[in-house]
Amino acid sequence: MSNIIELKNNSNMNIHMSNGTTSVFITVLGLSGTRLAKTDDEKKLLVWILEKDQSKCGIGTVGFAISEMPWVKENFENQKTFMLEVVKGVKEKLGWETLDYTPNEKIIFPCINTFSDMVKK
């Protein structure tokens, strides 16, 4: 099984990840985001992503579309900036020292880069 994160528009951008890669993807976003989230909107976005933890909702069932995230129209630009800062934190390995493994950058960074591109669009 695998999981897909997609951008539902004419670009058809998506990320296909194995279950293991998805777990690492959610974890590193969470590690970065929990250190950066300050506002309620930022926390809601991050909690929504962390709820995609496969150990809680089932392996191979955590795919989503960027448009499904709990964006708030009036605060969209701030939320978008926050998510891009979370991605930057992942690339800086923010929080990785707490892990008992080292994520494979060659696998996870391309997924993070595509996620960043999708958020920008």
- Per residue in 54-113, pLDDT (tens digit) is 555 555 556 788 889 999 999 999 999 999 999 999 999 999 999 999 999 999 999 999
Task: Compute the distance between CA of residue 62 and CA of residue 86 in angstroms, rounded to an integer.
Answer: 19
What's the pLDDT score for residue 8? 79
For 37, list phi and psi in degrees, rounded to 5.
-65, 130
> Averaging pLDDT over each range in 16-25, 45-54, 112-121, which range is the top one?
112-121
Query: Does residue 26 have a pLDDT over 90?
Result: yes
Please report which confidence band the pLDDT of residue 25 belongs to, taking 50, 70 and 90 as the band edges: very high
Per-residue confidence (pLDDT) for residue 55, from 0 to 100: 57
Q: What b/e string do you get for 20-44 counting C-beta neighbours within 10 Å, with b at 16 or more? A: ebbbbbbbbbbbbbbebbeeebbeb
Q: Where are the beta strands (DSSP E) in the chain?
A: 2-6, 14-18, 64-65
pLDDT above 90 for 11? no
Q: What is the pLDDT of residue 3?
A: 84
Q: What is the pLDDT of residue 30?
A: 95
* CB-based contact 66:30 (threshold 8 Å): no
